[in-house]
């Protein structure tokens, strides 16, 4: 039987979880929900009574500026807890939403409290997953603060290739990424028009082709150089395919 939580920390220390801990995490799932695309799951300031793991699809965390423009602060792939940090914080300072149609598993706060009492090593692994989020946040800050437009977009696609590879969703340098150019712009601090121009340049340079949600990395080494990308911050066990 396929476990709902089978992709959690896949190729990132999952093997350190005992079978008992994996069963405990699986048993903690209270509900599985299918959400439509562009659905806001948690609003900024909401009291968080449960945490959510993404099983299928693509989700994001974002903040809105006073001018109405959205800034993505995280993008989530299957296997990610999208709001585990809300468990100790009890509310979020940002919104959580789907990008594509998504399937999620929910973990009530009371159940997570039980896990913290009965499974201290599992709690450290949950803590590790939130630290991975923090590492990605730092890298996103670097990307926005130090890279130009080409570098930002190249770095974004490098990260998504590696993260999707870890959960078996990238094959032979090709992967599906259900984002629009507007989404990429909001993740990279650019305008959609600028993103369109950068994507053309990356294609013309023989590094990346992206069309209708399908990405094809044409030259992995060159794309990493352009994006100044090093996957150390993703804490991968071994080297992704």
Q: Report pLDDT digits (tens) over 97-116.
A: 999 999 999 999 999 999 99
Q: What number does CATH give the domain 14-139?
A: 2.60.120.10
- Show me where the domains of the chain are located: 14-139, 148-234
Q: 3 pLDDT exceeds 80?
A: yes
| Per-residue pLDDT, 20 | 95
CA 30, distance to chain mean position in Å, is 22
More confident residue, 6 or 239: 6
Whether the pLDDT of residue 238 is over 80: the answer is no
Q: Contact, 97 vs 40, CB < 8 A?
A: yes
Mean per-residue pLDDT over the chain, rounded: 94
Enter the tokens of residue 203.
Answer: 């294609």
Q: Which residues of 172-183 are buried (b: 16+ CB within 10 A; e: fewer)?
A: ebebebbbebeb
Q: What is the mean pLDDT of residues 23-28?
A: 95
pLDDT in tens, 178-233: 999 999 999 999 999 999 999 999 999 999 999 999 999 999 999 999 999 999 99
Residues 177 and 215 sit within 8 Å (Cβ to Cβ): yes
Residue ranges with strand state E in the chain: 31-35, 40-42, 50-56, 59-64, 70-76, 95-98, 102-108, 170-171, 174-176, 208-211, 214-217
CATH architecture of 148-234: Orthogonal Bundle (1.10)
Q: End-to-end CA distance of the chain, in Å?
A: 26
54 CB neighbour count, 10 Å cutoff:
23
Is the pLDDT confidence value at 1 over 70?
no
pLDDT of residue 237: 86
At 2 the pLDDT is: 57
**DSSP characters over 57-77:** S-EEEEEE-TTS-EEEEEEE-
pLDDT of 125 above 70:
yes
- Residue 77 has phi, psi (to 5 degrees) of -115, 165
């Amino acid at each position: 039987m396929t476990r709902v939580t089978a992709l959690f920390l896949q190729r990132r220390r999952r093997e350190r979880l005992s079978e008992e801990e994996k069963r405990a995490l699986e048993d903690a799932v209270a509900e599985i929900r299918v959400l439509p695309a562009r659905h806001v799951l948690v609003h900024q300031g909401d009291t968080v009574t449960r945490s959510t793991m993404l099983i299928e699809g693509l989700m994001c965390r974002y903040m809105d500026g006073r001018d109405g423009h959205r800034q993505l602060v995280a993008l989530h792939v299957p296997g990610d807890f999208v709001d585990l940090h809300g468990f100790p914080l009890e509310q979020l300072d940002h919104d959580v939403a789907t990008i594509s149609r998504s399937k999620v598993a929910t973990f009530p706060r009371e159940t997570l409290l039980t896990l913290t009492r009965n499974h201290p090593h599992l709690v450290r692994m949950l803590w590790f997953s939130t630290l991975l989020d923090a590492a990605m946040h730092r890298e996103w800050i670097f990307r926005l603060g130090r890279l130009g437009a080409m570098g930002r977009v190249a770095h974004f696609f490098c990260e998504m290739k590696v993260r999707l590879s870890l959960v078996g969703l990238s094959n032979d340098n090709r992967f599906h990424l259900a984002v629009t150019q507007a989404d990429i712009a909001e993740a990279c601090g650019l305008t959609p028009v600028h993103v369109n121009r950068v994507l053309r340049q990356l294609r013309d340079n023989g590094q990346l082709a992206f069309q209708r949600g399908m990405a094809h990395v044409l030259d992995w080494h060159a794309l990493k150089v352009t994006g100044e990308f090093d996957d150390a911050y993703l804490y991968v066990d071994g080297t992704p395919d």
